[in-house]
Structure formats: structure tokens, C-alpha cells
Amino acid sequence: MSEFLPLFMLLAMFVMIFAGIHVAFALMGTALVFGYAIFGGTLVYQIMDKIEDIGSNYVLAAVPLFVFMGTMLERSGIAEQLFEAVHLWTRRMPGGLALGTVIMCVIFAASTGVVGATEVVVGLLAIPAMMKYNYNKPLISGTICAGGSLGTIIPPSVVVVVLGPVADVSVGDLMVGMLFPGLIMAGLYIVYIVGLCVVRPDFGPRIPPSPDDPTLAQRLKVTAYALMPPLFMIFAVLGSIMLGLAAPTEAAALGAAGSVILTIFYGRFSLETLNDAVMKTLRITCMIMTILLGGTIFTGVFFAGGGIELTNSLVEYLHLGSWGLLALFLGICFMSGFVLDWISILLIFIPIFMPLIKAAGFDPVWVCILFLIVIQTSYLTPPMAPAIFYLKGIAPPAITLMHIYKGVVPFILLQVLTLVIVMVFPETVLWLPRNVLGFN
């Protein structure tokens, strides 16, 4: 019976989560009960060791810095400036407002790394504009949900900062490796929107010319004012990592400082704004770190109870082979995205499968990026679907849940297509780290 202890652990943990217990306490509670059965009174020393591991991991210092960067940029005025600048260039194209919204999401995601911040800020600006010109409501919904969630796969990403230490993979390699897949996904969104609005012009009408349209010089001036400061900050964060000038934690500190400077530049800085950003950063960071601690304690007990041996035996019994193992891992993560949030999926399945994936000979950076793409789908797949709930919270009554569900389906398929492209062409992930960071 003892050899099946890890299986009972997983079942107990899922029962607690589905019973409505917060995932952090479900992980910790399960670990305490089963850990006592394994370690007895020495369990407290095992827990203290895990707390020390989390507290001494300097890479995780990037989490509050990136979260602070995102919360400050929510209040900096950058979104309003980007919205105006991008749509000056795309408004005459088929689906121009939706197209510009995706581009703005890419820039804003590269500036913040926080999904909720991107979607809420962009949605509040883009929904009224698209509703004004009678855009198709599912297209509005899908564009904002999918574009807003690009913060997962566009660097810098808070998800990557948590994923790197758990998977024992360099955060810098992941930050650089995810760049091309993120741009591929955003490019597919753009192609889909333009193609759909060419075939169905009523879905995304072109905005007609007006006498007060800005001149080319005026458009260039607005674009420079709106784009240059955030692009400089993006270069400070990503460029410092790619050029080897800073570690991810140091780059996150540059981004946090840059977000304050941008807030001052756009005239939005105040002590109240700073206090709000700090308090929101504290709440989000405490939530992430508490769940991370719970996951670390859980996996420590899981491994001590023979979890790796049990998983190995199961894989050998199924005769999956290396690619079958990878498909099983990604499939479980995709299905879990329907009912679990990203950090739960990461902390439960990455520690279990990653040793097996590495032993099968797959590149761990490539596998982590595949995992990130799958996690991206979890933002759009109901019933959990945080992106849908973010949108519903800010959308007018005219946009119903049915509009949102219909709108996200094509974008989920585009995310799966991105997964296939990256799986078939691993160099989309590995080429940039190899040539920029000297990654082997």
C-alpha cells in the first residue's frame, strides 16, 4: 500500500481543491498529513528546509519587481498613449481597431509581464472604440482575451520567473527563448483578424477618412511620444538580459525603476499611486509565494513517498516512448487548464514530469516553452478561464458570456497551431538563446 502513497496524495490534493479550499492550503494540508506519515516528528525540519530554499532563491526576487512594474504601468498613462498611436496607423485597415489592439497588447505585455493588468487596461480602452464602430462582439471579446493574455508568452513574464526555479532551468534562457514563439502567436492573431475582416467586412469595418485626420508629421510625433519611452524600458529589461549585462533579477529591478520614471514622464506619479502599486504588489506577491511554498512542500513529500518511482513505473507500463511521454505531459496540462490556474498546474506537474522529460533526452528550455504555450490556452478555456472573467468584469452588458465563449474559440485554435509550429521547429525556441546567450 505504501508504494501508492503518492497517488493517494494527488487524489487528496485534487479533492481539497475541488472542495473549494485555496490551492496553497490544499497543497500544504495534503503535504502535512502525508508528510507526517512518512517523516513523523522530523517533518518540521523538512518544512523549514523548504522554506529556506524558497527564501534564499534570489531569482524569485524578480517576482515582486515585475509585478510592481506592471502595477505602476497601469497608472502611467502608457496604455492611453499607445492606444492613440497604434490606431493612427491601423484604423484604415480591415479590422484595424482589433488589429491595433493586438499590437498594443504585445507592447504592453512586453512592458509589464502581468496578464491581468494588460487585459483590463487594454479592454477599458478598446471595447468602447470597437463598439462605437459596430465590430462583431465575439471578435471584440476574443481579441481582448487572447491579446491580453499574451503576457504569459511575451517576455518578461512573471510565469517564467516562477517556472525557471521549479523546472531547474535558467530564467534568462527562457526569457530569450520565448520571444519568437510569442511573436509567432501574436502574428497568427493578426493574420486571422485581417483575413476574417477581409472575408466579412461587417465584422471589423474600416474607419472612414475625416477632415480632421492627423497629418503624417503629427502621426509620427504622437507615435514617438507614445512608443519611445516604453520601447526604451523594454530594451532596458530584455536587452540587458540578451546582451548579458544583467541577470533576470537585475533586469527586473531596471524595469521597476523604469516604470516609476515612465509614470513621472506621463504626469501620473503621486504618493497615492505609489502606495496603491506597492500594496497591490504585496498582495499578488504574497499569493504567488504562498502557493509556491505550498507546492514546494508538496513535491518534497511526494518525492520522498516514492512519487518519481511510481511515475516511472506508470510510464514504463504504458510503453509511451519519449514523444508519447511529452504528449501525455502536455495533454494533462492542457486538460488541467480547464479547471486549474497556471500556478497550480506548474507546481503540480512540472516537478513530476520534468525529470522524466529530461531523462527522455528533450531540451528542457524547449519543453518549458511548449508548457508556456499550453498554459496560455488555460486563460481562455472555461470554466476557469481567468481572461474571460477579467473581460466580463469590464465589458458592457451588450457583450454576453456567449459572445466571449464564441470569440475565444478561434484564438485557442491559433494557440494550438503555435504549439504545433514550435514543436515541429524547435529552433524557434533554441536559436536565439544559442546565438545570443551562448546557450548549448
Write out pLDDT tens, residues 384-407.
677 887 788 788 888 888 898 899
Q: Which three cell numbers stand for residue 231?
A: 520601447
Q: With beta carbons less than 8 A apart as the criterion, state whether 380 and 334 touch.
A: no
Q: With beta carbons less than 8 A apart as the criterion, state whether 27 and 301 touch.
A: no
Q: With beta carbons less than 8 A apart as the criterion, state whether 175 and 238 touch.
A: yes
Q: With beta carbons less than 8 A apart as the criterion, state whether 204 and 98 touch.
A: yes
**Residue 370 has what pLDDT?**
95
**Residue 298 has what pLDDT?**
84
Cα-flanking dihedrals φ and ψ of residue 398, to 5°? -65, -25
H helix runs in 266-339, sequence order: 271-304, 307-318, 321-336
Closest C-alpha to 432, from 101, 59, 129, 181 = 181
Give per-residue pLDDT as tens, 60-115. Answer: 888 888 888 878 877 777 777 777 888 888 878 888 889 988 988 888 888 766 66
Q: Which residue has the higher pLDDT, 121 or 94?
A: 94
Q: How confident is the model at residue 374 (pLDDT cuts 50, 70, 90)?
A: very high
Structural domain boundaries enclosing 75: 2-437
Give per-residue pLDDT as tens, 279-328. Answer: 988 888 888 888 888 888 888 888 777 777 777 777 777 777 889 889 99
Residue 68, amino acid: F
Listed range (71-85, 140-154, 265-279, 366-380) with the worst mean pLDDT:
71-85
**Residue 216 has what pLDDT?**
79
Q: With beta carbons less than 8 A apart as the criterion, state whether 122 and 78 touch.
A: no
| Residue 439 pLDDT greater than 60, yes or no | no
Q: What total number of domains does the chain contain?
A: 1
**Residue 413 has what pLDDT?**
94
